[in-house]
Each structure stands twice: as structure tokens, then as C-alpha cells.
Amino acid sequence: MRSSTQGVPSRPDVADVKFTRLQTLHAELQGTAREIGPDQLVALEGATRERVIGVTAGLLRCFRITPDGRRHITRFVGPGGLVGLGTHPTYRNSTEAVTDSSLIVFPAHTLDTGMEKSSTIRKVVLDALTDEMSARDQTQFRVGRLWADERVANFLLEVHSCATTVKSGTGEIRMSRADMADHLGVTIETVSRALNRFQKLNLIKFVDVRHFVVLRPRDLSHFALGDCDEAPTGQARLARSARSETHHAA
């Protein structure tokens, strides 16, 4: 299913590293496999955190819904990702499948005891938590300080770096426009318009509604500050509230 089945992985990219972690966990703890279909619920916000869930294939979304019906998708969890880590007694987000997905389920207490006994498991869990935190830094920044177009561009690059089909360089958007919108904190219309604007600017090209090719990666990342390979050109505007000087180091 992945390049790193047994032997040396050819080029250990991020997905491979995460996937190996999950395999390690499975080897040590003997989780139980499980298949689920789109929109099936995996964890409910507020419910007792009885299970930790690993994703081997497919995609999950973690989300919250406000009393008035707004949905916020905290994160998407793909292959190698874990849901339900930490010591909190309940799930802090609901989680459901975006697409058909394969899971490995671990009872939460086996993780707890496993961490006491095995330094391998300790490392895996800490690394996974650290990764999740890094991802949060990125998404929080994206939603917190970028304009709508920039959010979409930034997300697109994330999708592209994670999910590029090996042969063609084609990125796959595995979720609906509504999912993207609820993750990025904008409306579906805004997502749609941003994407089509990018296409008109020849930054990307849509193969179909869910598959795209990045034509001009550099220019696209100018929109996507923070995932930058390069410094931005000049089209970005200047914030007033940033402080110019930073003081003595600790």
C-alpha cells in the first residue's frame, strides 16, 4: 500500500515517516483494523476517549459545530495520522470519514500502558503529538493572518505536497468545497472563486474538479506566505501591527 512495506523506503517523505510510525504502533499494540465509509462517525466531541484511531488509508475530518450550526474543521487526518492522542478524558473534536477509509483502532488504555513500558511507543506518540502541533501552527496561522485567496493557495500547496500522485504531479483534493471552506474559515463561493482565479492566472490547471496541476509553483507560493520557498514579490501588503525591532536574546 505504501513504499515502505518492509525494506528501505526509497525516499522517506513525510507521509512515509508518519506511516512507519503507525506500523510500529500496530506491531507493538496489536490494534484492530476497521473499514468505514464516507461521513461515518469515528469519534464524538465530548464523549469518553476510549479509543485512539490510526488512519492507514482514506481521509478523516475533525470538527466542531456551534450551537447555531456553523462547522469548523480543525484538521484533516490522512494515512499515518492519529486521532485521540493525549491525556484528555474526552474527545475534543468530532471525527468522521471524508472518504472510504481504513483505520486501526487501539483502546486508549493500551496506549497509556504502552507508553509506560515501551520507549518505542513513547517516541512514536511524542513524535505524533509534535507533528500534530506543528500542523496546528500552520493551520492557525493560515486562518489567523491570511486573506481568503492566500488561505486557499496555502492549503492547495499543503494538499499538493502531501497528496501528489507520483506519476503525474497531479494534486488531489480529497474533500468537497464545503469541507475546504469550513476548514479555511471562508464560504464555498469564496473557495470556488479563489480556485478559478488561480486557474485564470495560469497558476494551476484543473484536470477535473478534484484534480489539479500546479503550473507556476513559485507564483502560487507567493500567495501562500508561510509555506514559501521564496520571498514574496510585491503584491502583498504591509501590516501595521508588526513590530519592527526585536530585542535582546535570552
Partner DNA sequence: CGGGACGTTGACGTTAATCAACTACCGTGG
Partner DNA sequence: CCACGGTAGTTGATTAACGTCAACGTCCCG
CB nearer a copy of itself, residue 111 or residue 170? 111
- Options 24, 99, 110, 176; binder of DNA; rule CB under 7 A: 176
- Options 185, 211, 226, 228; binder of DNA; rule CB under 7 A: 185
Q: How far apart are CA 26 and CA 104, in angstroms?
A: 8
For β-strands 211-214 and 170-172, DSSP reports them as antiparallel
Taking CB under 7 A as the rule, does residue 193 contact DNA?
yes
Q: Which helix (H) or strand (E) is 204 found in, with range?
A: strand 204-208
Q: Taking contact as CB under 7 A, which single stretch among the options 55-63, 76-84, 90-98, 206-214 is the one that binds DNA? A: 206-214
Taking CB under 7 A as the rule, does residue 196 contact DNA?
yes
The residues in 124-153 that bind DNA, with binding defined as CB under 7 A, are 147-149
Q: Which phi and psi angles does 176 have, rounded to 5°?
A: -70, 165
At residue 12, the 3 state secondary structure works out as coil
| Residue corresponding to grid cell 505536497 | 161
- Site string (90-119) toward DNA, x via CB under 7 A: ------------------------------
Q: Taking contact as CB under 7 A, which single stretch among the options 11-19, 73-81, 135-143, 186-194 is the one that binds DNA? A: 186-194
Closest distance of CB 177 from DNA, Å: 4
Taking CB under 7 A as the rule, does residue 189 contact DNA?
yes
Taking CB under 7 A as the rule, does residue 24 contact DNA?
no
Residue 4 contact among DNA, a copy of itself, none, beta carbon within 5 to 8 Å by kind: none
Q: What's the Cα-to-Cα distance from 222 to each of 100, 138, 197, 205, 228, rounded to whole Å?
A: 34, 16, 14, 17, 7
Buried b (16+ CB within 10 A) or exposed e, 175-204: bebebbbbbbbbeeebbeebbeebeeeebb
Closest distance of CB 114 from DNA, Å: 38
Residue 61 contact among DNA, a copy of itself, none, beta carbon within 5 to 8 Å by kind: none
CB nearer DNA, residue 65 or residue 129? 65
Closest distance of CB 157 from DNA, Å: 17
Q: How far apart are CA 229 and CA 47, in angstroms?
A: 41
Closest distance of CB 136 from DNA, Å: 21
Nearest in space to 15 (alpha carbons), one of 168, 142, 166, 218: 166
Q: How many residues bind DNA (CB under 7 A)?
A: 23
Nearest in space to 36 (alpha carbons), one of 59, 13, 67: 59
Residue 66 contact among a copy of itself, DNA, none, beta carbon within 5 to 8 Å by kind: a copy of itself
Contact 84, 49 (CB under 8 A): yes
Q: What's the Cα-to-Cα distance from 79 to each of 60, 61, 225, rounded to whole Å?
A: 9, 12, 26
Q: Which residues bind DNA (CB under 7 A)?
A: 147-149, 176-178, 185-193, 195-196, 206, 209-210, 237, 239-240
